[in-house]
Amino acid sequence: MSKSYRLAILGATGAVGTELLELLESRNFPIADLKLLASERSAGRSLRFKGENIPVEPVSDRAFENVDIVLASAGGSTSKAWAAVAVAKGAVVIDNSSAFRMNPEVPLIVPEVNPLAAANHQGIIANPNCTTILMTVAVWPLHKVKPVQRIVASTYQSASGAGARAMAEVKAQTSAILQGQPPVAKVLPYPLAFNLFPHNSPLNDLGYCEEEMKMVNETRKIFGTQQIRITATCIRVPVLRAHSEAINLEFETPFSAEEAREILNSSPGVKLVEDWKTNHFPMPIEATGKDEVLVGRIRQDISHPCGLELWLCGDQIRKGAALNAIQIAELLVEKNLLQPSKAYVSS
């Protein structure tokens, strides 16, 4: 006898929602029933899952009845509107948006880093920001050996980070430019094809954008310490999928590149990609569709005796969103952290 669970994906038609469906199928998550929810715009659509066409329903109160796990991926305002409804009806919500991440009562989980925090959930678990997930998977194994004092992160973020419509927009801009036409920007604030610009999330009084502050605040929450000094510069680049990050780490005592390489080589969720002879290091096209965060170019920082440099690429729709959410769901199931009475038993 095996347990299977009643799932709902809120935002099933989006970039992350589509990936959630693909991963639930390929990882063979035990599903008794699957509801696909989106906005009224998707009425009449259906999506393929395990060879079947499943209709997409507009989100409503009733949609959360008889659901064990909601994978929410429809933006912060939609999560704020519906997460409490789903929890009141007995579901656990794993939320991809930023709506609840810094709420002290909501665990913020990267399963390779702080899985134990999941035990404290009160119905909602937050999936961290994509750039934060990728960075924490690579930095945590080093931090465990020698606490990191300061992190300087520079990101190179793909169009897909802004959703399915942003990906389509960059493709259309690229083809317009190649045909001598002006690129049209409607989803992103400026043309991204053959261009780049600082992340366009709102700026605070110190000149940091929201995306940068997510890296600062969420990393501290996930690592369970406010002591790490973190600064970030987030840039959108004309890459279709997978984010890249240059990470500079400062420790109290020297951390040799060799030791870091050895640690990362056996760290969960990390794959070392380093061929110094051919100059082959992580690239977004090689990270696309991969579960692991690709890490390479690990080297001593020549400007600081206790500094270390590394470069990483990760599929932010996958490990930065959908995969991380499903790993959290798997953790809840494995550790029996869902309401037992809600689990649907099938033979």
Ligand X SMILES: NC(=O)c1ccc[n+]([C@@H]2O[C@H](COP(=O)([O-])OP(=O)(O)OC[C@H]3O[C@@H](n4cnc5c(N)ncnc54)[C@H](OP(=O)(O)O)[C@@H]3O)[C@@H](O)[C@H]2O)c1
Residues in touch with ligand X (CB under 6 A)? 11-17, 38-39, 41-42, 59, 73-76, 78, 96-97, 130, 160-161, 163-165, 316-317, 320-321
Q: Closest CB to ligand X among 77 and 339?
A: 77
Q: Closest CB to ligand X among 59 and 135?
A: 59
Identity of residue 190:
Y
- In three-state secondary structure terms, 229 is strand
- Kind of pairing, strands 307-314 and 243-251? antiparallel
Q: Closest CB to ligand X among 47 and 260?
A: 47
Phi, psi of 32 (to 5 degrees): -95, -30
User: Of 82, 137, 71, nearest to 110 (Cα)?
Assistant: 137
Smallest distance, ligand X to C-beta of residue 133, A:
8
Q: Which residue is nearest to ligand X (CB)?
A: 14
Smallest distance, ligand X to C-beta of residue 251, A:
29
Structure tokens at 56: 């997409």
Which residues are part of the catalytic machinery? 130, 243
Q: Closest CB to ligand X among 132 and 148?
A: 132
Cα–chain-centroid distance for residue 344? Answer: 28
DSSP label of 340: G
Smallest distance, ligand X to C-beta of residue 94, A:
11
**Cα 274 to Cα 4: distance, rounded to the nearest angstrom:** 41
Smallest distance, ligand X to C-beta of residue 248, A:
24
Q: Closest CB to ligand X among 58 and 147?
A: 58
Smallest distance, ligand X to C-beta of residue 243, A:
8
Cite the DSSP H helix spans in the chain.
15-26, 76-88, 130-145, 164-178, 210-223, 257-265, 284-287, 323-334
DSSP letter string, 246-295: EEEEEESS---HHHHHHHHHTSTTEEE--BTTTTB---HHHHTT-SSEEE
